[in-house]
Copies of this chain bind each other. A is one copy, B any other.
C-alpha cells in the first residue's frame, strides 16, 4: 500500500480510500491510484484489514463429518447464508470426538471468527465461556450444548418424529416393533428412543428391552442383533431405525426383506429401493439455514433471550413402513 501511494504520489490513506471505494476522492487522483495498483499488482491484505477493524468476516462451522450427507447438506446451507452476508466459512469435522470438537472451536476462536455454528460432539462446553464472554456468537445445531449451557440452539423434533414413525407402524397393525438406535449418549439417539417409548406407551404396548439395541457400530454386530431378535419366541414384525446410517446397515444386514421398516432420516435412493423405504425425514438444509440466520442475527447485535428452535420432521410413506404384519 505504501508502494502504491509512493508510485501514485499520494498518501497512504488515499490509496486506502480508493481501494475501499470510499466517497470523496478526486476522480483524477483515483485514476492515478488505480493505475499504480494495476502496475504494481497490489492486492489488499484482508487479514491486516480485519485485524485493524476487529471483525474477521468469517465464521466457523464444526460438524460431525462433512462426508455424511446430513452434515454436507447442512454445510452447504450455512455456506450459502454466509456468502450472502459476505462471510467466509472455516469448516471442520469433529468425528464425534469431544476433544477434536474443542480443538476446532478453540482454533476458530483464536482466529477470531465472528461466529460459530457447532454440532456438539462433547457433553461439556464450559470451555466456551471465555470465548462467549469475549463476544463471539455461537449457535448449536442438531444437538443442544452440554451441561445445561444456555445458548441459541436449533434442533429437529427427534422425539416427535420417532413417535410419529412408531405410531405409523402401530397403525399398520404392528405390535412387536424393534428399535435400532445410535449410542444413547448422543442426544438425538436418546430423544428418538424416548419418542418410540412414548408411542408404545400411548398405544398400550409393552416396552420390551429385547427389541431395543443402541449403538451398534458395525455391520456384523448389527446382523447378530437382528438374528437374535428374529429368533425370539415373539419376534418383531417391524423395525424402526434410529438414523440414516443404521437404516442402510440394517438393510444390508437383514436376512429377510419382509419386515416392515421405518427409518429416521431420509437418504438418497430410499425411493428406488424395493420396497421403497418409508422414512421420517429431517431437513438438514433448513437446519443449516436456520442456524446460520440465527447466528447472523446475533452477530448483528441482537440481544434477545437465547432461543431454542425445534424443526418439524415429516413422515414420507414409501412402502416399507406400510406393510402389515404376517397374519
Are B69 and A76 in contact, CB atoms less than 8 angstroms apart?
no
Q: For residue A76, which residue of chain B has the nearest CB?
A: B67
> Would you call B274 and A109 a contact (CB within 8 A)?
no
B88 and A108: CB pair below 8 A? yes
Of B88, B92, B130, B272, the residue contacting A107 (CB under 8 A) is: B88
Cβ contact within 8 Å between A110 and B45: yes
Is A79's beta carbon under 8 Å from chain B? yes
Number of copies: 2
- Selected interface stretch from A47-55, A191-199, A226-234: A47-55
CB <8 Å contact, A90 and B88: yes
* Closest Cβ neighbor of A88 among chain B residues: B90
Cβ of A183 under 8 Å from chain B: no
Smallest Cβ-Cβ distance to A72: which chain B residue: B72
Task: Tell me if A164 is interfacial: C-beta within 8 Å of chain B.
Answer: no
Contact among B46, B65, B67, B79 with A92 in the assembled complex (CB-CB below 8 Å): B79
A23 within 8 A of B: no
| Inter-subunit contact B79/A91 (CB<8 Å) | yes
In the bound complex, CA of A24 to CA of B194 (Å): 57
For residue A51, which residues in chain B have a CB less than 8 angstroms away from its CB?
45, 47-48, 51
Question: For A43, what are the chain B residues with a Cβ–Cβ distance below 8 Å?
Answer: 109-110, 130-131, 134
**Complex Cα gap A159–B323 (Å):** 45
Chain A positions near chain B (C-beta within 8 angstroms): 41, 43-48, 50-51, 56, 58, 65-69, 72-73, 75-76, 79, 83, 88-93, 107-112, 130-131, 133-134, 248, 251-252, 267-269, 272-274
Q: A47-B56, A66-B76, A67-B72 are in contact. List 10 more A-B contacts (CB 8 A).
A: A41-B134, A46-B111, A47-B50, A66-B91, A67-B69, A69-B69, A72-B75, A75-B91, A89-B90, A90-B91
